[in-house]
Structures are given as structure tokens and as C-alpha cells.
């Protein structure tokens, strides 16, 4: 069983790191949000609005169970995935879990850039964004901290730094994978 689950807050870099990490390892990469969108032929925000959070989280759980059976795969999860049901235990049992840890300030900065595609934060100004992220991250942090590896990822997007960070992550996982 060779699986790596990337967890963390919105805009932490899970999808980006997942693709690059999988490429380095010559593994497959799966983004659970994209997987859900392809399966249901709807955007996450549409499913969330249509079905409500409870039913959406059940869908998310079923998808997580499905992809947790794949081998040689890096799985980028949705930001809330670790916080529901026993999803963290499932991921910890099925493979290696990595919390991509980013500061509140950096997350708020990243989310301000892409907020129009994020229904939870699209109407927030800079100040509101930081308050929202701080409060929401505080609720999620206890789940994220159950990861087997906590990997600081503050500077992923600095010019020329991303490949170095991926190598550092691979090194921190060896011989665990």
C-alpha cells in the first residue's frame, strides 16, 4: 500500500503539491474535489448548495473510501475532508498523511487572489478574510494535526522554490512510503 494523503486548508497547495509529488514519485494523483465533480458532473459548490453539507460530506466520505483503495497514488483532499466522520483515521490507516501547514496570513493572502471561485469566501474583504480563516482554521487544526507528517509550506510559490519543497517533502516521507 503506497498512498499519500495531502490535507490542509483551502489554498494550502494540496492540488499543486499533489501533482508535483506524484510526478516525482511516478505515481497517479487524485484530487478528491475533482473526482467528485467528474463523478457527479457538478461543481462542488453546486453539490453543496443542492444537497446540503451533511449529504455532501457523505458523498465526500464515499469517494475517500474509494480512492483510499488505490495504490501508488497521491490524494489531495478537500479542506474539510479530515474534519468529518472518521476520515482522518481512515487516511492514517490507508497510507501516509501529510498536513500542508500554512499560516493564517498566507492563506488569507492566497484566498484573496482566488476568492471568486470559492463560495465560502467570495464576499469577504481582506480583513474579513483573515478573521474567517483564523476562526475556521482553529476548528480544523485539531483534525489536521492528526497527520503523520506536518509539513510547513509557507513559501511554496516563491520563484524556483517549488521543486526544492517537493524534494524536501519526499525526504521527510522516506522511508515512510
Task: Extract the C-alpha cell encoding 61.
Answer: 466520505
pLDDT of residue 118: 79
Average pLDDT, the chain: 92
pLDDT of residue 49: 87
Per-residue b/e over 135-149, b at no fewer than 16 CB within 10 Å?
A: ebbeebeebbebbeb
Q: Which domains does the chain have, with CATH numbers?
A: 3-159 (3.40.50.300)
Q: Give the DSSP letter of residue 77.
A: P
pLDDT of residue 95: 97
Per-residue b/e over 107-119, b at no fewer than 16 CB within 10 Å?
A: bbbbbbeebeeee
Cα–Cα dist 106/133, whole Å: 10
Question: What share of the chain has pLDDT > 70, as a percent?
Answer: 94
Cα–Cα dist 23/26, whole Å: 5
pLDDT of residue 173: 87
Distance of CA 146 to CAs 22, 83, 90, 96, 125, Å? 22, 10, 11, 11, 31
The model carries a pTM of 0.94
Q: Which of 157, 138, 174 is nearest to 20 (CA)?
A: 157
57-77 pLDDT per residue, tens: 999 999 999 999 999 999 999
73-132 pLDDT per residue, tens: 999 999 999 999 999 999 999 999 999 999 999 999 999 998 877 777 889 999 999 999
pLDDT of residue 38: 98
pLDDT beyond 90 at 156? no
pLDDT beyond 60 at 2? yes
Amino acid at each position: 500500500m503506497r498512498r499519500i494523503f495531502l490535507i490542509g486548508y483551502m489554498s494550502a497547495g494540496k492540488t499543486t503539491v499533489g501533482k508535483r509529488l506524484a510526478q516525482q514519485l511516478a505515481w497517479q494523483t487524485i484530487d478528491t474535489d475533482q473526482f467528485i465533480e467528474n463523478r457527479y458532473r457538478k461543481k462542488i459548490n453546486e453539490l453543496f448548495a443542492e444537497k446540503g453539507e451533511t449529504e455532501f460530506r457523505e458523498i465526500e466520505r464515499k469517494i475517500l473510501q474509494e480512492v483510499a483503495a488505490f495504490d501508488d497514488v497521491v490524494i489531495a483532499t478537500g479542506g474539510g475532508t479530515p474534519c468529518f466522520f472518521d476520515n482522518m483515521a481512515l487516511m492514517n490507516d490507508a497510507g501516509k498523511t501529510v498536513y500542508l501547514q500554512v499560516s493564517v496570513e498566507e492563506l488569507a493572502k492566497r484566498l484573496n487572489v482566488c476568492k471568486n471561485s470559492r463560495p465560502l469566501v467570495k464576499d469577504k474583504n481582506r480583513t474579513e478574510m483573515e478573521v474567517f480563516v483564523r476562526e475556521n482554521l482553529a476548528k480544523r487544526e485539531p483534525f489536521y494535526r492528526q497527520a503523520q507528517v506536518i509539513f510547513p509550506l509557507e513559501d511554496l510559490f516563491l520563484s524556483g522554490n517549488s521543486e526544492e519543497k517537493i524534494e524536501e517533502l519526499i525526504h521527510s516521507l522516506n522511508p515512510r512510503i
